[in-house]
Amino acid sequence: MHGHTLTDFVTLGRSGLRVSPLCLGAMTFGTEWGIGVGPEESFGVLDAYLAAGGNFIDTANIYTKGHSEKILGDYFTKGAGKGKRHRAVIATKFMGNLWPNDPNGGGASRKAILHAVEDSLRRLQTDHIDLLWAHFWDRHTPVEEMMSATDFLVKQGKVRYLGLSDHPAWVVTKCQYTALMRGWEPLCALQIEYSLLQRTVESDLMTMARDLGLGVTPWSPLRGGVLSGKFDRNTPPPADGSTRVKKESNYLNERSYALIDLLREIAAAHGCTVAQVALRWLLDQQGVSSVIIGARHLNQLHDNLGCCAVKLTADDHRRLDEASKVERPFPWDFLDFVRSGIQNGATINGVKSDLWHLTPKSDAERF
């Protein structure tokens, strides 16, 4: 369970790297994608996040065509962050391709990774990356090649820690055991979409991360703004497309509206905002290390940071879990069904079970 301030630091997965429970996402640093803000406003957000005690910043080589990394580099070499680079944990990603029609411009080949990291170091204006993520799963490259290349970067001192973002659970497991069996640098973190409106990750990705010692850093914790509290069945997004949530969003449906109604009720009881309740629910999930918040403007940042101080009750969690419940893939429901066949009335590690209805009732019935 996380503490209740931004400076209640946590170690990231099975590593000694200390990070803030809220990570500042830098995807909106730069206006090149049409959703962000310029360098000056980005610097203001960085100032406020660091002044509040945060230390964890997440970007990627492809964000705003590389400008996001450049803004971070300028901030820590020329801006108010000058001299503070080593106090920050800067994470970036390789995989995305910035070179049209170049098959080696992106992906997880050794050639692509080494070039991408050199470009990221140049834009970030630093000699090392604290946490390097593989942004997506490259289905064309053997995981042995990717893990070997990232291990080489750690041994060179250009990268400190490794993580995977947006990979299937079986691929993450294969990568981790490939590294462990060969004496290469293992993964310490997993970045996935996770929120009250995206809970399908709980069945395999989250259970795997906890078992493998991977600290989870969820992205889109407010489902792109759907859970921000700005929208409900009576207040749809404007038709002019000026908000990130579009009027035709698949997530603006009756199920979401009922969840937003509940979030509003719980927020009112705690004297906080809808977004803060949604973020606190996520922070409280077992295995979550640091939630990635994206803030274009200072008011958004301060509102999001306020989630740390919120204390949800067990009943709040129960109601939110019920309202956002999703169908789990096989074999999860089946395993719950057969629990009595395994435990047969016994309580193990706090998990209770019923007597199995097909169990022998006496020695005479037992062969």
Residues 309, 345 within the same domain: no
Phi and psi for 146 in degrees, rounded to 5?
Answer: -65, -45
Q: Is 97 inside any structural domain?
A: yes
- Cα–Cα–Cα angle for 89, 278, 164, nearest 5°? 40
Give the Cα separation of 151 and 110 in Å (integer): 11
At residue 218, the 3 state secondary structure works out as strand
Asked if residue 238 and residue 167 are part of one domain, the reply reads: yes
Query: Do residues 200 and 315 both lie within one domain?
Result: yes
What distance lies between CA 321 and its chain's CA centroid?
A: 19
Parallel, antiparallel or unpaired: strands 10-11 and 18-19 = antiparallel
Q: How many domains does one find in the chain?
A: 2
The whole-number pLDDT of residue 247 equals 67
From 63, 75, 161, 194, the catalytic residue: 63
Separation CA 55–CA 86 (nearest Å): 10
CA-CA distance, 328 to 349, in Å (whole number)? 23
Cα distance between residue 134 and residue 120, in whole Å:
13
Query: Which contacts (CB < 8 Å, 24+ apart) does range 325-332 have?
Result: 325/199, 326/199, 326/200, 326/202, 328/202, 328/203, 329/200, 329/203, 329/204, 332/203
103 and 222 both lie in a single domain: yes
- Regarding whether 359 and 264 lie in a shared domain, the answer is no
For residue 82, count other CB atoms closer than 10 A to its CB. 11
**pTM for the structure as a whole:** 0.95
> Is 93 within a domain?
yes
Task: Clarify whether residues 340 and 277 are in a common domain.
Answer: no
Closest to 172 (Cα-Cα) out of 200, 211, 202: 211
Residue 253 shares a structural domain with residue 218:
yes
Tokens of 358: 């097909």
Whether 1 is covered by a domain: the verdict is no
Question: Does the active-site annotation cover 63?
Answer: yes
Give me the residues of the chain with pLDDT under 70, please: 1, 241-242, 247-248
Q: Is residue 192 part of a domain?
A: yes
Whole-angstrom distance, CA of residue 294 vs CA of residue 301: 8
Amino acid occupying residue 69 = E
For residue 19, the cross-strand partners are 10
- 185 and 237 fall within a common domain: yes
Beta bridge partners of 91: 58, 131
Task: Kindly state whether residues 255 and 355 are assigned to the same domain.
Answer: no
Range of the domain at 186: 10-327
Q: Would you report the helix, strand and coil content of the chain in percent, each value rounded to 5?
A: 40, 15, 45
